[in-house]
A and B are shown apart, each in its own frame.
Chain A
């Protein structure tokens, strides 16, 4: 029953997310509304962590499996992917390295700046 209750809470929040997506004219997926609602509920204490954590962590753990059907969909869109292979490869690698370097350097600069301030 424990899992069933937790799953009910998670599903209800997903449903509210779905409703918000239908009502609000923004390009935001239902899951993001749901994530914000769950986060707000945890922050305000409306929900306790234990009321969702078991089922939630199970869902997160098996999440990679849920992407398989979308990935397999590549076999149906091969004709779209094929002429895009060069941009796909270049964008994948270049953006990855740029984001990693910038995010790492920027946060490192702030951490070290903070450490120096403390020393003074």
Chain B
């Protein structure tokens, strides 16, 4: 099997897409944020590869063509940002304060916890982009020399947990304004959190999707500064 898989260009990509369809189907069936199609597809693909004794490099010969689309897709995140522009301008102070404070909180708490756990530089930068969308976060981790695969795991799990914890957290901290809820979800749990924000309401959804690109771009700059700070500490 491995012998054939090594020459196959389509096997890796096919398995990945099939696994994603399975995840999407499970999510639809159980209506729960816990069934995240991306997490399920990653787990299912790993299980299939282990069962078939296919190693990662072999799988990736075909699967890498899926990732090839990532840069153009990320470029397109400018489109929803542009569409939400009037909403951004109307609430400029709240949006700016909400996202900037969120980005700073993320960088500072990662720094403090990294010091607490005594992480090395490479481990630290792996966590730096954990609150932003996978597309941008992967790039940040790569640029700063982190473990990109672990960054992806942490980002996706953050999104899924954000989806689940949003309502209890809002209750606990008495966050009631729809705009504030949207900004909080978008800057803490990126695109996966935005799915939850859209469930909460239209304003929440729009605010959250606006936060994805803005928090992502701010983190690109913030992360390189924090990476430097950690290296001199």
Contacts and interface: CB of A to CB of B under 8 A. Distances in A.
Do A and B pair up? The answer is yes
Interface of A: 7, 10-11, 13-14, 17-18, 26-32, 34-39, 42-43, 49, 52-53, 55-57, 59-60, 62-77, 80-81, 84, 86-88, 90-108, 110-112, 114
B200 interface: no
A49 B73 CA distance: 15
B166 to A, nearest CB: 7
Given A96-B165, A101-B173, A107 B76 contact: no
Nearest to B153: A74
Given A29-B139, A90-B113, A111-B179, A72 B49 contact: yes
Given A14-B72, A87-B114, 6 more contacts: A29-B74, A32-B139, A36-B217, A100-B102, A108-B180, A112-B177
B188 A75 contact: no
A102 B102 contact: yes
A99 B220 contact: no
B63 interface: yes
B74 A35 contact: yes
The interface size bin for chain B is: 35 or more
Nearest to B130: A95
A71 B76 contact: no
Interface in B33-74: 37-39, 41-42, 45-46, 49-50, 55-57, 59-60, 63-64, 66-67, 69-74
